[in-house]
Amino acid sequence: MIELVPTTDDDPSFLALVQKIVTGALASFELREAFLVHIDNWFDHKWLGWWSSWEHKDIKVLYVPPFNPNRVVSQKHFICEGDSSQWAFAGEGKPLHRRLPGRRGASGQKLDQFSSSAAFVWYSGNTGINGAGSMMFYVSGSESYAWYASFRRDLDWAIADGFRISPRELLSFEKRGSPLSQVGA
């Protein structure tokens, strides 16, 4: 299980939801490596595919979205051990977000340069105060698998919007990840 640890301003219920979705998506795609980036605050759908190469509304080459490094609360790198579903923390990994001069041609970072087959997840912080959260999920080596989802808290957390993913797919990932998130808990 990949555990998302809340900071002071994070809502643990939001992180539990993101954890289930990520766990379910990792299991669905049988990915063995994941990078998780905790961003300081909510971000919107415009970050999806930023700097990436698009052709006819499809992403062709995925690039790391250009979040300012000051917004990165933490970055964690996980590797799935053996044939089990046990994920091991492997440190921070190579920093995805660093100060780079210029535009994409000179400084954009392709996801594939970090790993040829991994999940890259960005999720928002400050959810305890905002009552809103967001996440993006990219898969390197897939050419175009990337999506964004936003969430809103009323009594419980609920899907507010999705881009390049349906609510049904998100719920499927959450359902698949629920029992897996409990392993070792």
Print the SS3 string covering the chain. Answer: CCCCCCCCCCCHHHHHHHHHHHHHHHHHHCCCEEEEEEECCCCCHHHCCCCCEEECCEEEECECCCCCHHHEEEEEEEEECCCCCCEEECCCCCCCCCCCCCCHHHHCCEHHHCCCCCEEEEEECCHHHHCEEEEEEEECCCCCCEEEEEEEECCCEEEEEEECCCHHHHHHHHHHHHHHHHCCC
- Is pLDDT of 44 > 70? yes
pTM above 0.75, yes or no: yes
For residues 52 and 60, give the distance between their C-alpha atoms in angstroms, rounded to a whole number: 7
- The whole-number average pLDDT for the span 99-116 is 69
Domain boundaries, the chain: 12-182
- pLDDT confidence of 105, banded at 50, 70, 90? very low
17-29 pLDDT, tens digit each: 999 999 999 999 9
Model pLDDT, residue 141: 81
